Amino acid sequence: MKKWLSFFRTIQARLTIIYVLLILVAMQLIGVYFVSSMKNSLTENFTKDLKARAEMLSILTADKLGSETGTTDEETAVESLRGMVNNLYINGAEIQVLDASGKIITTSVPSQNDYVGQRNTQTVVSRALQGISDNEEYIIADDNVRKKVVAKPVLAGDKVVGAIYIAADMKDLYATMSRINSVFLSGLLLALALTAVLCVILAHTITHPIKEMTRHATALAEGKFNRRMPEFGNDEIGQLSQAFNYMTGRLREALSQNEEEKEKLASILTNMSDGVVATDESGRVILMNTRAADMLGSEGPLPEGAPLDELLGLDHEQTGSLAEGNAQSALIHLSPMGGGDPNIVRVTFTPIHRREGGIAGTIAVLQDVTEQENLEESRREFVANVSHELRTPLTTIKSYVEALDDGALDDQQLAVRFVGVIRNETERMIRLVTDLLHLSRLDSKESSLRIQQTDISEMLEDVADRFSFQIRQKRIHISTIVHKDVALAWLDRDQIDQVLGNLVSNALKYTPEGGKIGLQAVLSEDGMLAISVRDSGIGIPKKDIERIFERFYRVDKARSRNMGGTGLGLSIAREIVKAHGGSISLQSELNEGSLVTFTLPLLNQQRGSEG
């Protein structure tokens, strides 16, 4: 049932039905007109024939009915009339000759002889006896047969002497009409069948290209752009096929270009160092690249559909500005996925405007500015520390110069002491500036390494000898231990000397009299040269260990400054070790001493020669 219903919904079925109905209506109209005209024509001819026969019979019987004769002559006249009536044979018709009073004189039907002498009281007979010549009507006989009745007056001069009555059976006429209807109906059915076949063929020529286009359109929707539709001639359907193929080519090019642009955009979003988050007009996330997911700490699926304000932790005011499209940028703190200190992220908002007006969404660009902010903070702190370090000796120099200018210069002993203080403060500023320049060269990679083969044992002994005077003054015991596998190494002797000098100097400063300092060089577990400086000094609190290598950082600021330190020694040591490709670390317990260890890669002779 559904199959037939679906068939009748097709264009082919509709066209066939429409054409068949048009032919059917046309044939019906033609048939009605033709059958009606044929029926009228046959009936009219049939009636004319009856009237003509009645007219002829009325002329022939006029002499017989108009003469006044005796009985013998009347019988002869009746026989003569009977003979004329019988000779004027009409198939299926009854002919009666009536006298002036309407009595039946003779009849052509033998079975009706009983009615001879009786009056015929039909209306047509009465009208004929009144002299009216055009008298006809239809009657239904006792056997339910329709008959045509015609009555003509018989005139003898101007006198009506009788009438002729003819009642003709019309079944032959109707049989003829039935045969004509049958022929017409057969022709109609044949015409409808031929029309249906021709309509199916014609509809197929129209629907076949449409079906082909439908299949190609379906394949096109499934992404099969390499299929080409056949062109059906040069008519409208052929032109439609050409336009369809042209559209397919253009659509293939457009989609290919769109895919390329999409891949470019996806590649750009994936490889961007900044995070990108896109939202719809309601502020919910619809797109997020991998970098943004990492920055926001999303370990599972991307939180698409989540509100952007909740995702970024924006406050109410920022959320309102974002909804109105007025938000520009904001600094937020995001916790990293692995834990640790929160990252500082600058979020820049850009609204997406519709062509017809309004905001369709927002693009949020997340920029990790943690390092930038830390550098800026370090720069501010560095400037403040340098200013502070320079201000103290400059203030001291200014004070002593003013004292000398005010008269202290005249006091020989006092003047010498003041000049000595000025000299010490000047040398301290020179050391500070020298250290700053050294750090600057290390930061800018301008200080190249002069790699050479170095005897580690000799280098450690040289360092110990350099501080022998201070060691003897404080009665400190110093020892050097060098592992046999690291007797020789390739490194920048001068810079590593400076590192060891800084470490030993710090150990001497913070180790009380009678303490111990140990220098040791061994091979570490990862195959690197490990040099350590251990002391039994005052140690460093745990809270200060993490910042001990920062520039200008001092555990005991007043004591360090009084001892002539610039606060840059360990920073310089760390940069030199990093330049060699190593690392430096410090372990310490308060009042139990400290251990500073730095590792250096063991370079071969060829690498040392290149250096």
517-534 pLDDT, tens digit per residue, is 999 999 887 888 899 999
User: Which DSSP helix (H) or strand (E) runs through 558?
Assistant: helix 557-562
Q: What are phi and psi of 36, to 5 degrees?
A: -65, -45
pLDDT at 368: 82
Lowest mean pLDDT among 300-309, 312-321, 383-392, 475-484: 300-309
By CB neighbour count within 10 A (0-12 exposed, 13-18 middle, 19+ buried), where does 322 fall? Answer: buried
pLDDT at 92: 67
**Helices marked H in 406-446:** 412-443
Model confidence at 314, pLDDT cuts 50, 70, 90, reads: confident
Does the pLDDT value for residue 561 go beyond 60? Answer: no
User: Which DSSP helix (H) or strand (E) runs through 394?
Assistant: helix 370-405
Cα separations (Å) of 91 from 46, 47, 116? 12, 14, 21
Instruction: Specify the residue for token string 């599972």.
Output: 300
Q: Treating both helix axes as pointing N-terminal to C-terminal, what angle do 569-579 and 493-510 enclose, rounded to 10 degrees?
A: 150
> Which residue from 494, 498, 492, 488 is spatially nearest to 449, judged by alpha carbons?
492
Cα separations (Å) of 218 from 185, 206, 320? 46, 19, 47
Instruction: Specify the residue for token string 């009084």.
Output: 562
Cα separations (Å) of 609 from 79, 403, 458, 603, 604? 167, 57, 21, 10, 9
Helix (H, G, I), strand (E, B) or coil at 450: coil
Q: How would you classify the pairing of strands 516-523 and 477-482? A: parallel
pLDDT at 3: 57
**Hey, what are 433's tokens?**
């500036």
Q: What are phi and psi of 377, to 5 degrees?
A: -65, -40
pLDDT at 70: 46
380-383: long-range contacts at Cβ-Cβ below 8 A with a sequence spacing of 24 or more?
A: 381/552, 382/551, 382/552
Give the bridge partners for 346, in sequence order: 331, 367
> Which residue from 297, 347, 346, 303 is spatially nearest to 322, judged by alpha carbons?
347
pLDDT at 126: 87
Does the pLDDT value for residue 162 go beyond 80? Answer: yes
From first CA to last CA, the distance across the chain in angstroms is: 93
Average pLDDT in the 181-197 region?
Answer: 84
Of residues 391 and 604, more confidently modeled: 391
Rounded to whole angstroms, how far apart are CA atoms 345 and 383? 25
Rounded to whole angstroms, how far apart are CA atoms 199 and 105? 67
Residue type, 139: I
Rounded to whole angstroms, how far apart are CA atoms 398 and 401? 5
Does the pLDDT value for residue 608 go beyond 50? Answer: no
Average pLDDT in the 293-315 region?
Answer: 68
Rounded to whole angstroms, how far apart are CA atoms 274 and 324? 24
Helix (H, G, I), strand (E, B) or coil at 155: strand
Model confidence at 324, pLDDT cuts 50, 70, 90, reads: low
Model confidence at 323, pLDDT cuts 50, 70, 90, reads: low
Cα separations (Å) of 286 from 109, 367, 555? 107, 19, 51
Average pLDDT in the 582-607 region?
Answer: 79
Does the pLDDT value for residue 607 go beyond 50? Answer: no
Q: What are phi and psi of 140, to 5 degrees?
A: -110, 120
> Which residue from 294, 451, 273 is spatially nearest to 365, judged by alpha carbons?
273
Rounded to whole angstroms, how far apart are CA atoms 431 and 436? 8
**Hey, what are 89's tokens?**
């044979």
Give the bridge partners for 531, in sequence order: 521, 598
409: Cβ–Cβ under 8 A, 6 or more apart, which residues? 415
Q: What are phi and psi of 416, to 5 degrees?
A: -60, -40
Q: Answer whether 531's CB lies under 8 Å from 454's CB.
A: no
Helix (H, G, I), strand (E, B) or coil at 470: helix
Give the bridge partners for 93, in sequence order: 168
Instruction: Specify the residue for token string 């642009």.
Output: 261
Average pLDDT in the 353-368 region?
Answer: 80
What's the number of CA atoms in the CB half-sphere (13 Å) around residue 331? 7
By CB neighbour count within 10 A (0-12 exposed, 13-18 middle, 19+ buried), where does 538 fall? Answer: buried
Rounded to whole angstroms, how far apart are CA atoms 243 and 255? 18
pLDDT at 175: 84
Rounded to whole angstroms, how far apart are CA atoms 136 and 167? 10
Helix (H, G, I), strand (E, B) or coil at 588: strand
| Statement: the pTM of the whole predicted model exceeds 0.85 | no
pLDDT at 337: 58
Average pLDDT in the 319-337 region?
Answer: 68
